[in-house]
Amino acid sequence: MNTVNIAIIGTGFIAHYHARALLSLADVNIAAIIDTKPGAAQKFADNYNLNAIVSTDTAGFVNREDIDAVIIGTPNKFHLPYAIEFLNHGKDVFLEKPMALNTTEGKKIMETAISANRLVMVGHMWRFDEEVMYMKEAVVSGKLGKIIKTKGYGIHENWGPSGWFTQKQLAGGGALIDMGVHAIDTTRFILDDPKPLKVYAEIGTFFGDYDVDDTGIIIITWDNGATSIIESGWWQPHMDGPEAATRLFGIKGYASVFPTFLKIKDREREEFKPAGREKTEHCDQSIYTSQMKYFIDCIRTRKKPSPGLDEGLTVLKIVDAAYRSASENKVIAL
């Protein structure tokens, strides 16, 4: 494969990060832009001076031999139908988080991808952040000893989204499925992807007039013996750390991501900052660029992406269990 041709489906906020990432990569072509809103695809293409086909409908693109893969950044409700449509027609798929509305839909995507022998990557982009990767290496190497507990945050302080994000039919949930998934997957990645054993959650709606959650506390027990507390929220009056911030409590010491440091017993505090550059924002473009570079490499080499089907489905299982736990007021075993 020489040039990799990509179609972008959905031109919302996140699509701009993906477009900028793709434009920075050699031998990658944004071949098509698709958005159901009239004029949106053309406006997006014009913004980046793209010589791409624009459309309001995916139907004409599933059979095109000049498209190798698609990036799906639509409301969550459409992840399943679009993914299945393109997988069944031989295209690799990048799905923005969450993988789907729920576990049942995630399993359908997994079954389709396996049957079609196509790749699926899920946009849990914090796995590509240098500080997060540093902390995973520190944990896996044993610097902190056995991890007993963690705390992770997926919170918007004095702000929350609007539109489809606040509609259960389109999003599947609220702050948990929007922000909490970042904290869940980041924690799981740092802990070297343990399996969840049980989930307990308290979830509610306190700050807005919508049919989804804006506040959540989730407790996850992992098969490696660690317990994770995850906080999700919109419009919270305070947050103990930015998106994907993680605190780790080990037998040998304590560690933090955002700010990132190790505090080992009887040793000086060890701080970490990526060398050679400064982030321009917390969710920096560099994370998305590294993520997309990896996806393109997977397309070329046919390497199974991580985060992919397994990682995306595990997050959905935890989210579904959390919503069920809050509804039934009990611990949910997985």
Specify the CATH number for the domain of residue 148. Answer: 3.30.360.10
Please state, in angstroms and as integers, the Cα–Cα distance from residue 177 to each residue in 73, 174, 192, 215, following that order: 15, 6, 22, 11
Identify whether 195 is part of a domain.
yes
Which of 123, 156, 181 corresponds to the end of one domain?
Answer: 123
What domain count does the chain have?
2
Identify whether 193 is part of a domain.
yes
User: Do 118 and 207 fall into the same domain?
Assistant: no
Identify whether 10 is part of a domain.
yes
Distance CA 332, CA 334 (A): 6
> pTM surpassing 0.75?
yes
**Residue 317's closest CA among 136, 99, 77?**
99
User: Do 179 and 138 fall into the same domain?
Assistant: yes
CB 319 within 8 A of CB 176: yes
User: Do 147 and 114 fall into the same domain?
Assistant: no
Q: What is the pLDDT along the chain (334 residues), one digit of tens a residue?
A: 689 999 999 999 999 999 999 999 999 999 999 999 999 999 999 999 999 999 999 988 999 999 999 999 999 999 999 999 999 999 999 999 999 999 999 999 999 999 999 999 999 999 999 999 999 999 999 999 999 999 999 999 999 999 999 999 999 999 999 999 999 999 999 999 999 999 999 999 999 999 999 999 999 999 999 999 999 999 999 999 999 999 999 999 999 999 999 999 888 899 998 887 778 899 999 999 999 999 999 999 999 999 999 999 999 999 999 999 999 999 999 9
First to last CA, the chain: 41
User: Do 159 and 275 fall into the same domain?
Assistant: yes
Identify whether 35 is part of a domain.
yes
Specify the CATH number for the domain of residue 45. Answer: 3.40.50.720
Kind of pairing between the strands at 147-157 and 120-123: unpaired
Specify the pLDDT at position 1. 63
Specify the pLDDT at position 60. 87
User: Do 245 and 107 fall into the same domain?
Assistant: no
Identify whether 299 is part of a domain.
no
Per the structure, the complete domain to which residue 14 belongs is given by 4-123
**Residue 227's closest CA among 265, 196, 255?**
196
User: Do 140 and 99 fall into the same domain?
Assistant: no
Burial 226-240 (b: 16+ CB within 10 A, else e): bbbbbbbbbbbeebe
Specify the pLDDT at position 272. 94
User: Do 81 and 137 fall into the same domain?
Assistant: no
User: Do 20 and 114 fall into the same domain?
Assistant: yes
Specify the pLDDT at position 46. 97
Return the SS3 of 181.
Answer: helix
User: Do 86 and 117 fall into the same domain?
Assistant: yes
Which of 81, 102, 123 corresponds to the end of one domain?
Answer: 123
CB 41 within 8 A of CB 64: no
> Is the Cα dihedral 32, 315, 303, 63 positive or negative?
negative
Identify whether 300 is part of a domain.
no
CB 324 within 8 A of CB 332: yes
Distance CA 46, CA 181 (A): 33
Identify whether 291 is part of a domain.
no
Specify the pLDDT at position 213. 98
Q: How many helices (H) and strands (E) does the chain have?
A: 10, 15
Alpha-helical regions (H) of the chain: 13-23, 40-47, 79-87, 103-116, 130-140, 168-171, 175, 181-190, 285-301, 309-328
